[in-house]
Structure 1
Amino acid sequence: MRLIGRDRELTELTDLLHACARGDGGGVAMIGGAMGCGKTELLTAVKGAARDGGFTVLDAVGSWPERLSPGSVLQQLLRSAGAPGPAAALLDRLRGTCDDVAAGAGDTPLTLDPDTTDVLHGLCAEVLRSAQDAPVLLCVDDVQFTDYLTLHWLFHLIRQLRGARVVLALTECPLSRPAHPQLHAELLRQPRYRSVSLGPLSLTDTTALLAQHRGAPPDPVFAERCHRVSGGNPLLVRALLEDSRQASDPGTVVVGDTYGDTLLSCLHRGRPALLRLARALAALDGDIHAPALLARLTGLEPGTVVRGTRELAAAGFLDGIRLRHPVAAQAVLEGLSAPERATLHRHAALMCYEEGVAATRTARHLRNCDDDGSLTWAVPVLRDAAERHLNGNRVAEAHSCLEAALRLGSDDGERVGLRALLASTAWMLNPSISTPHLGELAIALSDGRLPARHTLMLAKYLLWHGRFDEAVGAVAQLDDTDELSDPGYAAEVRATWKLLSVTYPVVQPPPPLGSTAAGDPRLLGVTALSKVLARGPDDAAVADAESALRAMRLGKHTQEWLMCAVAALSFADRPEAAARWCDHWLEEARARKVPLWAAEFASLRAGIALRQGDLSHARMLSEAALAQVPADSWGVCIGGPLANLVQAATAAGDFGAAAEYVAQPVPEGMYSSRFGLYYLHARGCYHLETGRPYAALDDFSRCGELMTEWGLDQPTLVPWRSSAARAHLALSDLRSARELAHQQLALAGERPSRARGISLRVCAAVAEEGRRGRLLEEAVEILRACGDRFQLAGALGELSDEYGACGQAARGLAALKESERLRRECGVGRPAPVVHGTAGVAEPDGAAFALLSWAERRVVALAAHGRTNREIAGALTVTVSTVEQHLTKAFRKLGIRTRKELPRTYFLGAAAR
């Protein structure tokens, strides 16, 4: 395989071999260069060329551990294949003459005794004698680690090379200066001395190396990335190729274990000082670069630090004063024990503090160190760093800083405040992380040690976890604080009370808390939601909500109120505006990398998508919310995303998925929150659609009782009466169904709204035949205007049946086509075929269900549950003949012949569509 980027160097060295073979005298070559840059590979190519030219090749490798072992390299050279036979006896004799040589290792060459010198001369003579028969190539890799006994032998040999047929090839990786100055001095005296220095590969050569190994030219972006991460070091380029071999995308550069292990192997082959320096640079990550400070941190001489840094840079390991990739830093630090790493970071933190390095950089070391009593200055630095991280949208880093501050702090009063800040930051990552802190904060509150500014926060967290009594008691204590005299703080307290009361209606708002800041956007937003929930859609509330949204920016003190304002728009029948604002804040939350914010806005946006009839989008957003924050971390608010998933899956006909969502455990406290209303209604719809009308009626009734008790009985929030009416209809209780339908229509009012459109559909379902068409036409008009495509599709389907029954076939067909198109756009899928649980009869293919009209589904739903034709006619207020016609058409579409083959689990509740 051809060497890439080394053609000139290889030619120069093979010329030296050819001259020797011709009898022009011996020569010597020194191949220098940084670690991993191909010195050994070039030496291997030279050895191959020498063997091809008839040379006897003797080789050895120096190593740091054996540098003090006398004659270790010499033993390798002259015991290798092809070495002169008498050399073995001389080496055995040498072993007995140099037991004390190791003690003299140092920068000054040893003075040898006469016997040892005689043996070394004899070994030189044997090599020269052997060269008379065939030229000899002696190779020593990593000569900088050669023991001094071998070094003396090399001196003897070099001085006799002029007339010999011997070539000496050495490789060296010095720390920017010769490891053995006397050896270099001897080499410079030779007329046939060649010095070759290898550096990193260029981008062009890196591309050629990649093509050689892959068998095809690489993608330019892949080549550039490899060159940048490897620094042009050919050994690291090959490591990247190995790491990237299993990547699914062949254009992706994977920086993995092979890369880290290869770099670490290079460092271990060098001097320990180089590894120590690399570890310090990895830990510092650019915080400090002055040689004197690096020397202090590593315990090395400043000159060694300078030379070592140059060597690491020459090898391509450094980008400036940092290791090129985090994998490299991780690899070099993994060799340290936990106490060693903590000590390194503690010393680094102290130096950063003394040198005035930025708080965020100093805190990075404090987060990873232990405390030996010298870090009394650490807590203020960590708090400052946490604040800066929060301002820079780095919540995880802020949380880590506050954890370290709490660990290193010793003052009890200070620790309470730190714990409150830590709980607040942990909350934004995952509410479950903050749970361990709530108990201690509650104790501090009861003892009077918790500052008032943290009490509101504690109350919200306690409510989230369903600890309602403790939360109410916490906020009630604010009545006695002097801070309420501040209008701004009083406004925050009032806004928090309103936020809690609309989210957790079991919390009753307190009497007026003194003067408040007029026009506070948080108050505007939450008051707008409170008005809509209590009185229904309101133009003034919409104006206040939009004003609040324009006035606030996303932050830890505004996020919940922004959600209230968006929810107010949604419940006030402004779905387009609500969606636009929610998309904006969702994008902001994701950009700021705050998981809880992103999850809550995603769940809110899913609810808006449901009100627009976009079932697929609602499911996707709800799944994203639960991916950001796991279900067990949502506390009582799990009802929000879970209700969206149940409702969307049920409406789409995906009952299997809906069943899985319903099976998830929920906290009992959820039913004391507004989110419990959503969940009860969604679960009731699921029960109704899957043949359990009594269970559905229980959920709808409980939902209604809570809404009435809390003063939130508005159909714009949850249309529970419409759903309960359909459950009664499925049970043939037409009187109760009519009563509930008319009640909801009255509550929805005369104003065109989504709630009125839904109410009109149910009123049409329970009305006499002559009135249904007019009610459905008004429902279609209203639902088209309010933007709920799913409800509109259902109303059009029902209107199509009504037109058909009245002999208006053309109008019925047009309505049916539009209904089916809207259903497809909403994401309504075909229900999967199931097997009847008792008879074991396979039910009709789910594709057939989509062919049934709405009227046919209502009739079949009741027939599937044993109703006679006369009972069905009475329940639906139609003639027996109409029932018989619907059943005949339905049986034909489903491919069945008897009522026993009807699938109960699918049809019951179909009228709810």
Structure 2
Amino acid sequence: MADRKSDSGLPGTLVGRAAELAVLTAHAEAARAGRSGLVILSGPAGIGKTSLLRAFLDSDACRKMTVLHGTCGEVVAGAGYGGVRALFGGLGLSAEGAQDSPLLRGSARRALPALDPRPAEEGPSTAATVYPVLHGLYWLAANLMAQGPLLLVLDDVHWCDERSLRWIDFLLRRADQLPLLVVLAQRTEAEPVAPTALADILAQPRSSVIRLDPLAGTDVAEMARQVFETPVEPSFAERATAVCGGNPLTVTRLLRELRAKGVPPDEDGIREIAEVGSYVVALSVRALFDAQPGWVRDVATAIAVLGEEDPEHIGVLAGVPVARVAEAVDLLRGAEVMAPDRADLAHDVVRSAVLEAAGEEPLAELRARAAQLLSDAGRPAEEVANQVLLVPGTPQPWMCWVLREAAAQAEHRGAPEAAARYLYRVLEAEPDSLSAHVPLAKALAEINPAEAIRLLRRALGLASDVRTKAPIAVQFGLTCLTVQQSPAAVRVLSEVLDELEEELGPDPDPRDRELRTLVQSALLISGSDEKATINTVRERFARIPEPPGDTPAQRQLLAMMTVLSAMEGRSVRRTVGRARRALRSSDSGLDNWSLVFSAFTLSLADETEEALDALDRALRRGQDSSAVWSYVVTLSVRALLLHGVGAIPDALADAQTAVEIIGGERWNANVTTPQTALATILIDRGEPERAEELLASVTRPNLDGFVLEYHWYLMARARARWALGDGATALRLFLDCGASLDESGFANPAFVPWWAEAACVLAAEKRAKEARGLVEHGAELARRWNTPRALGLAALARGVTTPGEEGIALLTEAVEHFSGSPARAEHARAEFLLGGALLDAGRPRDARERLRSAADLAQGCGALALARDARNRLVAAGGRMREITASPVDLLTGTEHKVAQLASRGAGNREIAESLFVTVRTVETHLTSVYRKLSVSQRADLASVLSTTSRPDPQAPAWVFASRGRR
């Protein structure tokens, strides 16, 4: 290895680190072969981490890789995406060059807020920007990896901000089979800026930790030979090792001081080691300052405060001309106080010694001046604020302004942790300020909602009037949702709404009316989430007239009112009218939840085409903004809707994609709808064992308190048990579902029709008389809701529990109702049950006709379990039919089906990966499997093969096939 500079700046070779260098080299070779890896270098200050990294980066192992190398520093510790900018800063990516840079194509453009050090022209966005920026940075790394293996090296990672660490964690969890190596170096004795985020990275299963141990005596002897260029007594090297603890930086400084004093490396020199070695770095710094003019010390101190900075600014802070700055830098570099390859001090240990020599009070004044200097120079607020954070004491008024600006910039970058650090300092100076509490709570809403709620409670107490209090209450209510505190949200929002209505009177002006509507919608959203509060908000909103839907807040309120109206199951026409008014605007004021809730309501009313259109809009928004959580929930709701209308292959594709996406997210324990949707579909596919395994993986706390998710979950568990032959448990779960719905006040017969399922279980177990109450209950609900599907369910439940010809007539009625509804799978089931009843009544010819229809319908829907049952019963009745076997397309997994659909419409692998939130390598793997299963060799063949599964069934509504073609 060629001679080089060590951490101290002394000439020499890397000593004593051959084994560690070999480990890094092996990881680099694995990354070049497509096996991603993570290496953590750890050890105390001066142990040689930086020297090892430099030797590694100069080695042949890294010459065939794209290398991004950055160092975190205390001056920018905790800044939003400071670590990311340290890595990517050398690429010169900015908003101006985004159009031209191939690295920023596609979703990678969303990385710009994290990369550009300047504030964006547009105003700060919300905490929802966090995931899009992470997603964009991932695709930026993916674009780099498309050019070749990528090596990310981040030194002094203990100073790294939380959001940059979260991105590294995000990247590594998506890095399987990618040519990526991440190397992080940290000081073990330093308290990390973001300990939890760093701990999550260290817990990565692919991580490898290299702990740098102190150098042995033989290594110190080798270093001494390089310094003195004369023979070294073994006892001299052993003593130096003991005094310095084998720390390379301290050893190097000790040897330099001894050489400068003319001390030889022999027995006589041993006596000097203890005196010099006990404080060698501080001693060398002070000795240098004592031997040089005062302006050299002032320049060194200014550099220690500002870091790598423009010489003019260093000169202003130090109070010396720029020419003197250059002269001082040369002197400092010659004395190995400055780094040899950058305009900064050689090491953090050296920085600490320089700052310590300045004194506590002068240093505090110098930091305040540094912040003022950067502010006057027009630097971005985050840069100025990072200096302000290091100034002890209460921030001055101008500092608070800078901290607020910095928080806005950090929030725009999607770095709420950094925004919170800035705003906490504002709160120190303004403990009773609303403008400190509310933005801080907003920054903490996703990362520490409990603290956000505490701050918002305090803010509500500080608000002087109800108009000021109302938006705070809205923020409080929506934050409470994340920690399942709906009762607290409902209490606060109800109190504020009472105050607001009293203050505004019956006829407020448009602005006040919109504010009142916003509070109402937040109350309805918060209160509709849990069973503990649903009845309270239902009673309140029974007295509120429905808004026309002319404004964003009105449409949000209408969307939520449609849910309550639909779940009461009383007026389908009124409910559909509300949902359509909520959906009638296409502007950005209509958020995804308004779309999803309206779609859910329309699906209950059999208005399936409109519901699918609304969900498609919501999914496109989720893709455009990389809002993965809402995208996953929307995809899961669409899967349940498609399942309900018998489009089971498409439903499977949606549900499995949603489950695959949440597998890479840390918040997956708080999501249940994807697993429930997939389990529901797997049961109809004839895989109840897999469904049960999936449902067993659901761990969301207090699941039984939620009004929608819990009932979907119970129904899936019950149907899985029944499919596995456990009728007793299935019946208990169905009845539990009914009791829970009653507690929630939900009476829509089309939402989880537990009563019809329970009736079928009782009929199958020859206990039909016990179902009489359930059947009448369901029939009454169906008459009130009065949709074809609801009426079909009621007739089916009555038919299976009524013997003889009367039961056959009721099942025939059920078939007729379902044939006029979008519920194709229910239609197939009704045909199957009718065929069974006819067979039991001694009418095999009529039975065979119905069973054949059931088998055909079920197979066309993808309900393979029902299709096989119908075919088996048909054969037993003397009919003939081929075995029900899966078509080649049925062999595809849900995600393979989704990938194949997109590829058949001309989407490239990258476009597919971006739209499904997966890696390009994952798409390639799925496509390889698709080609094998479908026996095709190229994309062009996919469309013709997939289209064979979408031929119109003569009994299926035309909209089903139109929607399939649309997607």
- Give TM-score scaled by structure 2 length: 0.49
- Determine which of 722, 729, 736 is the counterpart of 1:702: 736
Please name the residue that 2:451 is paired with: 436
Instruction: Supply the distance in 2 between the matched residues of 1:222 and 1:825 (Cα, whole angstroms).
Output: 38
Instruction: Supply the distance in 2 between the matched residues of 1:824 and 1:692 (Cα, whole angstroms).
Output: 29
- 1:423 is aligned with what amino acid? A
Please name the residue that 1:15 is paired with: none
- Determine which of 565, 571, 581 is the counterpart of 2:617: 581
Q: Which digits, 9 at most, give the CA deviation of each residue in 1:285-339, with x for residues without a partner?
A: 77xx443532465688754543566898997844xx799xxxx999987999999
Instruction: Supply the distance in 2 between the matched residues of 1:499 and 1:544 (Cα, whole angstroms).
Output: 18
Q: Which digits, 9 at most, give the CA deviation of each residue in 1:715-752, with x for residues without a partner?
A: 54323234324433554434567975984776155474
1:224–1:708 CA distance, 2 compared to 1 (3 A): closer
Contact kept, 8 Å, 1:680 with 1:703, in 2: the verdict is yes
Q: Which digits, 9 at most, give the CA deviation of each residue in 1:406-435, with x for residues without a partner?
A: 3x2334243xx53343333323x34xx111
- Determine which of 647, 652, 655 is the counterpart of 1:618: 655
Instruction: Supply the distance in 1 between the matched residues of 2:724 and 2:347 (Cα, whole angstroms).
Output: 57
C-alpha deviation, 1:458, in angstroms = 1.7
Tell me which moved more, 651-660 or 268-277. Answer: 268-277
Instruction: Supply the distance in 2 between the matched residues of 1:403 and 1:686 (Cα, whole angstroms).
Output: 51
Please name the residue that 1:457 is paired with: 475
C-alpha deviation, 1:221, in angstroms = 4.3
Partner SS, residue 718 of structure 1: coil
Please name the residue that 1:219 is paired with: 64
By relative contact order (CA 8 Å, sep 6+), the higher-ranking structure is 2
Please name the residue that 1:480 is paired with: 499
Instruction: Supply the distance in 1 between the matched residues of 2:709 and 2:469 (Cα, whole angstroms).
Output: 30
Contact kept, 8 Å, 1:545 with 1:568, in 2: the verdict is no
Q: Which digits, 9 at most, give the CA deviation of each residue in 1:572-592, with x for residues without a partner?
A: 5347545533432333443xx
C-alpha deviation, 1:479, in angstroms = 2.8
Instruction: Supply the distance in 2 between the matched residues of 1:275 and 1:774 (Cα, whole angstroms).
Output: 99
Tell me which moved more, 702-711 or 643-652. Answer: 643-652
Please name the residue that 1:381 is paired with: 402
- Within 5 A, what are the aligned runs for 1:147-158? none
Partner SS, residue 372 of structure 1: coil
Please name the residue that 1:804 is paired with: 875
1:562–1:656 CA distance, 2 compared to 1 (3 A): closer
- Within 5 A, what are the aligned runs for 1:495-894? 495-500=521-526, 502-504=528-530, 505-506=534-535, 507-508=537-538, 509-510=540-541, 511-512=543-544, 518-520=550-552, 521-523=555-557, 525-527=559-561, 529=563, 533=567, 534=569, 543-544=580-581, 546-548=583-585, 550-552=586-588, 558-565=591-598, 567-568=600-601, 572-574=607-609, 577=613, 580-590=616-626, 600=633, 604=637, 613=648, 614-615=651-652, 618-619=655-656, 621-622=658-659, 624-625=661-662, 628-630=665-667, 634=670, 638-641=671-674, 643-644=676-677, 647=680, 653=687, 655=689, 658-659=692-693, 661-662=695-696, 666-668=700-702, 670-707=704-741, 710=744, 712-729=746-763, 731-734=765-768, 740=775, 743=779, 747-748=790-791, 750=817, 752-753=820-821, 755=823, 757-758=825-826, 761=829, 764-765=832-833, 767-769=837-839, 789-790=861-862, 792-809=863-880, 812-813=881-882, 816-818=884-886, 822=890, 825-826=893-894
- 1:518 is aligned with what amino acid? D
Contact kept, 8 Å, 1:459 with 1:474, in 2: the verdict is yes
Unmatched segments (≥5 aa) in structure 1:
5-32, 45-200, 232-239, 829-913
Unmatched segments (≥5 aa) in structure 2:
16-53, 72-86, 91-150, 156-171, 188-209, 213-246, 257-280, 290-295, 783-787, 793-816, 897-967
1:517–1:540 CA distance, 2 compared to 1 (3 A): closer
Please name the residue that 2:185 is paired with: 257
- 1:758 is aligned with what amino acid? E
Instruction: Supply the distance in 2 between the matched residues of 1:621 and 1:277 (Cα, whole angstroms).
Output: 57
C-alpha deviation, 1:258, in angstroms = 9.9
Q: Which digits, 9 at most, give the CA deviation of each residue in 1:674-721, with x for residues without a partner?
A: 222222223323443455433332332232344456554335432323
Contact kept, 8 Å, 1:360 with 1:385, in 2: the verdict is yes
Please name the residue that 2:442 is paired with: 424
Instruction: Supply the distance in 1 between the matched residues of 2:718 and 2:366 (Cα, whole angstroms).
Output: 60
C-alpha deviation, 1:757, in angstroms = 3.2
Please name the residue that 1:900 is paired with: none
1:451–1:596 CA distance, 2 compared to 1 (3 A): farther
Name the % identity.
18
- Give TM-score scaled by structure 1 length: 0.51
Contact kept, 8 Å, 2:615 with 2:634, in 1: the verdict is no
Q: Which digits, 9 at most, give the CA deviation of each residue in 1:570-620, with x for residues without a partner?
A: 655347545533432333443xxx776566556656656766544475255
Partner SS, residue 747 of structure 2: coil
1:315–1:410 CA distance, 2 compared to 1 (3 A): closer
1:491 aligns with 2:491: no
Please name the residue that 1:863 is paired with: none
Q: Which digits, 9 at most, give the CA deviation of each residue in 1:150-184, with x for residues without a partner?
A: xxxxxxxxxxxxxxxxxxxxxxxxxxxxxxxxxxx
Instruction: Supply the distance in 2 between the matched residues of 1:447 and 1:38 (Cα, whole angstroms).
Output: 57
Partner SS, residue 885 of structure 2: helix
Partner SS, residue 257 of structure 1: strand
Contact kept, 8 Å, 1:573 with 1:754, in 2: the verdict is yes
Contact kept, 8 Å, 1:797 with 1:819, in 2: the verdict is no
Instruction: Supply the distance in 1 between the matched residues of 2:348 and 2:602 (Cα, whole angstroms).
Output: 50
C-alpha deviation, 1:497, in angstroms = 4.0
- Give 1 or 2 for the bigger CA radius of gyration: 1
1:817–1:464 CA distance, 2 compared to 1 (3 A): same
Instruction: Supply the distance in 1 between the matched residues of 2:771 and 2:674 (Cα, whole angstroms).
Output: 29
Partner SS, residue 516 of structure 2: helix
1:291 aligns with 2:325: no
- 1:357 is aligned with what amino acid? R
- Within 5 A, what are the aligned runs for 1:258-277? none
Contact kept, 8 Å, 1:589 with 1:597, in 2: the verdict is no
C-alpha deviation, 1:454, in angstroms = 1.1
- 1:488 is aligned with what amino acid? E
Contact kept, 8 Å, 2:711 with 2:737, in 1: the verdict is yes
Contact kept, 8 Å, 1:34 with 1:315, in 2: the verdict is no
Please name the residue that 1:68 is paired with: none
Q: Which digits, 9 at most, give the CA deviation of each residue in 1:433-479, with x for residues without a partner?
A: 11134245446647866721111222233355444443322222213
1:795–1:551 CA distance, 2 compared to 1 (3 A): farther
1:693–1:312 CA distance, 2 compared to 1 (3 A): farther
Partner SS, residue 397 of structure 2: coil
C-alpha deviation, 1:40, in angstroms = 4.0
Instruction: Supply the distance in 1 between the matched residues of 2:411 and 2:432 (Cα, whole angstroms).
Output: 24
- 1:586 is aligned with what amino acid? G
1:498–1:451 CA distance, 2 compared to 1 (3 A): closer
Please name the residue that 2:276 is paired with: none
- 1:487 is aligned with what amino acid? R
Alpha-carbon RMSD: 5.8
Instruction: Supply the distance in 2 between the matched residues of 1:248 and 1:515 (Cα, whole angstroms).
Output: 51
Instruction: Supply the distance in 2 between the matched residues of 1:726 and 1:672 (Cα, whole angstroms).
Output: 26
- 1:680 is aligned with what amino acid? L
1:560–1:258 CA distance, 2 compared to 1 (3 A): closer
1:774–1:559 CA distance, 2 compared to 1 (3 A): same
- 1:796 is aligned with what amino acid? A
Instruction: Supply the distance in 2 between the matched residues of 1:695 and 1:586 (Cα, whole angstroms).
Output: 38
Contact kept, 8 Å, 1:757 with 1:783, in 2: the verdict is yes
- Within 5 A, what are the aligned runs for 1:358-397? 358-366=380-388, 368-369=389-390, 371-397=392-418
C-alpha deviation, 1:761, in angstroms = 1.0
Instruction: Supply the distance in 1 between the matched residues of 2:494 and 2:153 (Cα, whole angstroms).
Output: 64
Instruction: Supply the distance in 1 between the matched residues of 2:252 and 2:317 (Cα, whole angstroms).
Output: 19
Q: How many residues are aligned here?
A: 592
